[in-house]
Structures are given as structure tokens and as C-alpha cells.
Amino acid sequence: MTQILSGLVVAETRRAKLVEKVQSFISKSNRPPGLAVVLVGADPASQVYVRNKIKACEHVGIVSTHHRLPDTISQDELHTVIDTLNADSAVDGILVQLPLPKGLSETLATERILPSKDPDGLTSGNLGLLFAGRTRVAPCTPLGVMKIFEHYKIEVEGKSAVVVGRSNIVGKPMAQLLLEANATVTVAHSKTFDLKSVTSQADIVVVAAGRPQFMGKEFFKSGSIIADVGIHRLPDGAAGGGPNGKSKLCGDVLTSELMNHAQAITPVPGGVGPMTIQMLLENTLRLAELRA
């Protein structure tokens, strides 16, 4: 029987403890931790993510401020907003919601954030510390995967692990966190020859390929542990869509084929996604504590 690694369960467990930690911080510092969320444009998915993040902040006692900017804003104007937040002593974390509208540089916007106020862990300063083994905060999604493994007592040390994807947001930091946990790590990507032969030998596979339902049973060996980072909405009427032509969320992995084949797997939805938000909250508190 394949074990379902529910990120919802892990996030709820950790959130209850986080409420206590935030209250302790408030008692010692006489102020709550603060997270500023910057949303440029009106991307529907981004608006949903931002609402969920703001709601989660309210639940644990972190003060969240929402800065909604038009998609006509210039790069310099966006940087001015970020600079103002960098200088605001009430702000411990700054989140610029990605993706940004066409014409704006995500790299420049991210790098404008002070590393000491970067709860996403995506500035070169924080990524550099991660790869140097002196982590301030790690990127939220890979960190969330590791916390899921920790919660369910998934042994990583000594195991062979493959990360599918090499982005700075997930793939590269995911590989580093697994390496720090003493796994033997391989990073596969779009240029990898014979991906199946690589992933089917691994004990642990973290999939961040960015392709809906891309990997089925033949990509994984029996008894493997799979973390599916992908999240996609299949359009109405697409193969694998919901009943009656309704849209459906799915990951990069064909989960239905893995039941009773994999040892454990994260579902989509309800797997890694909730942990990404939880890690954002925990990273914000950590940055607040470091600043204090």
C-alpha cells in the first residue's frame, strides 16, 4: 500500500507550533513579525496565491501588508517600492509574487530585496549561503519537501536521490538540501539522455519538471519515494480532466499509476503546495528573529 505524504497534515501540525513561536517573539520584541507581499498585475493564479498567503499570516499572528501594483509599472518604479520596504523597520520579509508581467525582470526585482528580508530564500546572497553550508533561509518549496520527509520519518541519509529539474527556485536548492542530508544526489533535466534509466534507479525522486502528468510508473522503481512539486490545471475537456468536463489540478506525476508501486508519494493538490506557504511563514519568523 502506497503511503500518501500529505503536506496539508504536516503544515497544520507545524502551524500550530508556529502560532506559539510567533506569540513568544511578540512578547520578547513588543511587535509582530511583518511580511510585505508585492503583487504586480492581475494574474488570477497569483491573486489566489497571495490571498492564501495573507490568510495564513493572519492565522499565525504575522502582520501582512499587501502592495498591489499595476502591470504598467516600470522596473525602476518596482525597485522604488522594494527599496521602501527594505527600509521599513516593521517589515521582516518581502515577497514579490512571481511571475511578473512581461517586460519586468524577475531576477532584478528579486535581487533588489535585501537578503536579510528575503523569506523566499531566492536572492543570490541567500542561495550563496545555502550552497556554502551556512543557510540563513532555504527556498520554501524544497525546504517544504524536506520537512515532509522529516515528518513522515523518511530516511534520506545514504539513499540515492534524483531531482528532476534545475531551477534556482526548486531544482538546485532541492539537490543541495538532499546532499546536506547525506543523500547521493543526481540532478536530471530537459537535456538528460534517457531520463527513465536515471529516475528508475533512485530511492527518492523529487519531480519539478513543469510538465503535467509527465512521469508514469515506468519512470520509478518499485518501493521508491516520490515528491511531486508540479501543479497544473488541466483545461476543460483535456485528457485526465475532471468529470463533466470540469478542470482538474494535477502534478508532474501520474499518481494513479504509482499506487501500490511507490512506497510513498505526495499528492496534488494537498502535497508540497501547502508546505511552500508554511515555509514562507517560518522563514519570515526566522528573519524577524535574526533582525531582533
Residues annotated as catalytic (active site), given as ranges = 53, 97, 120
Give 144's contacts (C-beta < 8 A, 6+ positions apart). 7, 272, 275, 276, 278, 279
Sign of CA dihedral 233, 221, 201, 192: negative
CB 253 within 8 A of CB 230: yes
Q: Cell 534545475 appears where?
A: 166
Give 147's contacts (C-beta < 8 A, 6+ positions apart). 10, 14, 275, 278, 279
Sheet with strand 204-207: strands edge to edge: 3-4, 264-265, 225-228, 204-207, 160-164, 184-188
